Amino acid sequence: MYLSKEEEKILHGEQGEVPERMLRLLTQLGDIYGADKMIPVGSVQVAGVSYKSIADPGTEFLEDLAAKGAKVKVLTFLNPAGMDLENWEKLKFPKEFAKNQLRIMDAFKSMGIVITATCTPYLAGNLPRFREHIAWSESSAISFSNSVIGARTNREGGPSALAAAILGKTPNYGLHIWENRQPTIKVKIETDLIFDADYGALGYHVGKQIKNKIPYFTGIKNADTDQLKSLGAAMAASGAVALYHIEGLTPEADLVKKDHLETITVTKKELDEAYAKLNTGKEPDIVILGCPHASLREIGSVAEKLKGKHLRKPVWVCTSRMMKEAADRMGYSDIIEKAGGHIVADTCMVVSPIEDMGYKTTGVNSGKAGNYLPGFCKQNVCFANLDKLLEAVA
């Protein structure tokens, strides 16, 4: 892999231990994947933020980097943390967990990272442009930025994203290169997608079928950005889809080659089967919405449905701090709180310790959450559209 003179100096330790270690990591990755050179990135999103995911070794690694003076060079946001960073006490997050989570946030902050912990950074102040190279590491955010925005990122791990943030660069391979962004399978949708959850169920089914291929969808009409983020999140979770194209909707769909591709078809039958597979529970003892983190439109729609209602079970709407503040101003937070629910910022149902908070069955409308909750959080899942979920608890 070609290195510039300046990069060679970094590798020889002329800028200190941290840049040297970070560049060593990225050149090793680049060599494995056949990168020709390093390229600048416009922004980074770092995963491995929740104490539940990284525990003591990860926390100590970050504190060590911070103590050695690590600083990021480009706009860098974080993946969701393990708790609401402001309201964790009110929401009954365990104290010891909170103490450790706050240590992690301090370490990130001292590196110059924006303490915005969200999987929808593009809704919260970190919006890449078409064809911009970025290094993001949360799978739904990767899928959205590659597919809906047309920015270019590989599926970064926490350490490689952090290294990219500190150096402002990433190795040039994979989805940074146009030839590698071509679809490798066609997916014909022959069923109506009506509810929010239909996109999650579709993504869950397609991800399982196609693993890490790049799908070119036909037959999806008028999906909005909330539905697209739900579709991409589920495909990235049940498979490893980092990029998809949709005829007439996504920005690279007209530009890619889509002739002579293997084709699979999805009908109502497959969609119904996906709903059935995702449903492992009978009655939710909590409903958690906002996977990926809810947009203001999604929060508004929950508020509208909960107006004047009284919830029998807890309802959380997970979102970024920015969306929560907008929801506060719009009065949505008040309506949801009055009904007995909460807008929970900075975290989500998968990376927070819900299994230690007494919950056993979680209601979700997200294919990604439905896919991960049984394994990561020991939860049974009730997967349904928003109306049905709220009917079950209001």
Task: Tell me which residues touch ligand F3S (CB under 6 A).
Answer: 79-80, 119, 138, 140, 233, 291-293, 318, 348, 350-351, 368-369, 372
CA distance linking residue 210 with residue 44, whole number of Å: 27
- Residue 188's DSSP bridge partners are 218, 265
- Closest residue by Cα to residue 178 from 111, 130, 248: 130
Both tokens of 152, joined, read 């270019």
Q: How far is the CB of 236 from ligand F3S (least distance, A)?
A: 8
Q: How far is the CB of 350 from ligand F3S (least distance, A)?
A: 4
**φ, ψ dihedrals at 317, nearest 5°:** -115, 110
- Closest residue by Cα to residue 191 from 181, 183, 202, 182: 202
Residue 59, classified by CB atoms within 10 Å of its CB into exposed (0-12), middle (13-18) or buried (19+), is middle
Tell me the H-state helices in the chain: 5-11, 17-33, 51-67, 95-110, 139-144, 158-167, 196-210, 225-238, 268-278, 296-306, 321-330, 332-339, 367-377, 386-393
Q: Using alpha carbons only, give the angle 196, 198, 202 rounded to the nearest 5 degrees.
A: 130
Q: How far is the CB of 231 from ligand F3S (least distance, A)?
A: 12
Both tokens of 218, joined, read 């036909």
Residue number, 35 or 323, with CB nearest to ligand F3S = 323
Q: How far is the CB of 366 from ligand F3S (least distance, A)?
A: 6
Q: How far is the CB of 276 from ligand F3S (least distance, A)?
A: 21
- Residue 266's DSSP bridge partners are 189
Residue number, 26 or 364, with CB nearest to ligand F3S = 364
Residue number, 119 or 286, with CB nearest to ligand F3S = 119
Residue number, 66 or 351, with CB nearest to ligand F3S = 351
CB neighbourhood size of 127 (10 A) = 15
Q: Judge contact between 282 and 382, C-beta under 8 A.
A: yes
Residue number, 21 or 293, with CB nearest to ligand F3S = 293
**Sheet containing 185-189: which strands, arranged edge to edge?**
245-246, 215-218, 185-189, 263-266
Q: How far is the CB of 318 from ligand F3S (least distance, A)?
A: 6
CA distance linking residue 156 with residue 141, whole number of Å: 11
Both tokens of 292, joined, read 């990926």
Eight-class DSSP state of 152:
B
Q: How far is the CB of 101 from ligand F3S (least distance, A)?
A: 15
Residue number, 79 or 116, with CB nearest to ligand F3S = 79
Q: How far is the CB of 372 from ligand F3S (least distance, A)?
A: 6
Residue number, 35 or 288, with CB nearest to ligand F3S = 288
**Residue type for 198, please?**
D
Q: How far is the CB of 379 from ligand F3S (least distance, A)?
A: 12
Residue number, 291 or 384, with CB nearest to ligand F3S = 291
Residue number, 27 or 347, with CB nearest to ligand F3S = 347
